[in-house]
Structures are given as C-alpha cells and as structure tokens.
Amino acid sequence: MTISIQWAELARAAKAASEQAYAPYSKFPVGVAVQAKSGKIYTGCNVENASYGGTICAERNAIAAAVVAGERQFVGLMVYTPQDQLTPPCGICRQVIAEFFTPDSPVRSCNHLEQQQEWTLEQLLPSAFTPLFLANSKKF
C-alpha cells in the first residue's frame, strides 16, 4: 500500500510549529512536521537552552511526540525555517530520523518564500547505522 505524503499540510504544520519555537539564543526558530505511516501528522519545534547541549531540535521533538503516541514508522518529514536559505536537518537529527525512516524516505525543507528542496535520507546520511543495518550485517 502506497501512502500519499501530504506535503502541503506538512509545510503548514511545520510553519505553525516554528512559531512556537523557543530560540532566544540563536534567534533561529525551526518547525518540523512528520507524517507517520498511519497518515497522522506530528509536529515539533526547537527548544533552546543556555547550555547548548541541552537544546532539543524540532526534528527530534516531532519524532518523539509521534513515538509517545505509538508511531514507529514514518513516510515524510518537512523542516520549516523563516529564512531565505533552505535548511536540512542537523547531523544528530539525521541519525534519529534514520531510526524510523527508510533510506529512500523523502525529507524536505521549506521556507517563508514557499521554496522547497527534497533529499532522501540516504543522501543526508549515507550508510546509516540503524537497527535495520545491524539486522542485515554479518556477525563478527
């Protein structure tokens, strides 16, 4: 069964989530919307901390919200930032995305100019180290 990704709804939800971001240090609000295989959409925003290591990215917030709701498989992810340059997920978020998305899963970025760019997870994180990778690897 092929799931239709609701890109327009993901873009609207990600933009709305960015408006809730807590970004007093970077002034870089980020919103993310993920669509689960079930069709449901979950959102997250970045929540900064004076101790930067304590900052939680929007991608991880959205995925965590979905996991709390019982979701484990996703079909699409949209990142929104209110700037001219389109922004893909950071490195740690790419690893978290790899836990729940397939290598060919689309990841998109959009901005206030209504521009979009798409990558596959494999393009963002080639040869990701995930449970799927471990299940298919040979024992040492």
Cα torsion 88, 8, 130, 92 to 10°: value is 30
31: enclosing H helix or E strand? strand 31-36
Q: Which of 24, 27, 73, 69 is nearest to 44 (CA)?
A: 69
Q: What are phi and psi of 122, to 5 degrees?
A: -60, -35
Q: Where are the domains of the chain?
A: 7-136
Set 9, 59, 99, 122: catalytic member: 59
110 is in an annotated binding site: no
Regarding pTM above 0.85, the answer is yes
End-to-end Cα separation, the chain, in angstroms: 36
45 is in an annotated binding site: no
25 is in an annotated binding site: no
**DSSP for residue 140:** -
Provide the pLDDT for residue 134: 64
CATH topology of domain 7-136: Cytidine Deaminase; domain 2 (3.40.140)
d(CA 16, CA 2): 27
- Low-confidence stretches of the chain (pLDDT < 70) are 1, 132-140
47 is in an annotated binding site: yes
80: enclosing H helix or E strand? strand 74-81
Tell me, yes or no, if 99 is annotated catalytic: no
Provide the pLDDT for residue 140: 46
38 is in an annotated binding site: no
